[in-house]
Structure 1
């Protein structure tokens, strides 16, 4: 199973392996179609399914880190205000010190919120790019597999019309399956429990 720290790198390695598998596959005579091992392709797709939710979990950890930064900023601001109020009472100049402390606390919270938002945005962008790259490779692979099956069907004499319904049905089933992918944390929990 992919560790959280290298989930994105592992997903890119899987895509490279898919590319290598297709690029080095034996081509059909007089055709741009290639013959690829179904078992190898399914194994890589299975590994990719495991890596994607792990990568999304990594993005969720980044968001959690952003929340921690925000909480730390709020805690620091509360501490500053409390300290300022104590100093104000001791020096009998409370109003001015508390106002300055509140201004400082507001600035800390604002900075923490901006940093947390940047981290969340980066995590979402990372997840979206990973999923988009995987979807593009799967679509490309599905097109090549379909073309190969059509070519084989023509050689076996079954005709493109006989093979087309099966190929179209498989394409639609694959599209429905991958359409269920989401960066929603609730959806990713289903993947990690084996709901492929």
Structure 2
């Protein structure tokens, strides 16, 4: 698969086989994250690999609790749209996903957090694309609020000076996810001026 095929094929997978991800494949995927660009070459990330069933179960319980509350506040059309794409407030399935990766980052003094957060997301994108190239499915989980992140940090014993950008769900896809729509280039690109 060439690079542009990988980019076009990447999907948010929400149904995974319980088949383990071989260590050598996981290492290659993580190494792609390591090579991401970062502001000032800070390389601010730390990847926590979570495969323990008990830890994944605790994370799934917290994510379900916060997701349920958030979905209750969504406008009906938002909930319908997400549900049609396979989304749900029920995150209990996270407990059975072969690998969760907590992408953490710390902000060096004198640097703006958005630069460092952006750097962490560059690593996330590299990981997602590498996973696709390896035949894996992936999906990001972002926190609904700071309290949810705080509770996940406690479980994972993340130091106080680190944040979690996202949890990446990783494994072999049970089914081919539907192709999402994308805006046409003419809708999102302009030259010289907005």
Question: Normalized per residue, which structure has more strand?
Answer: 2
Q: Which has the higher contact order (CA 8 A, sep 6+)?
A: 2
Q: TM-score, normalised by structure 1?
A: 0.26
Structure 1 or 2: larger helix share?
A: 1
Q: TM-score, normalised by structure 2?
A: 0.26
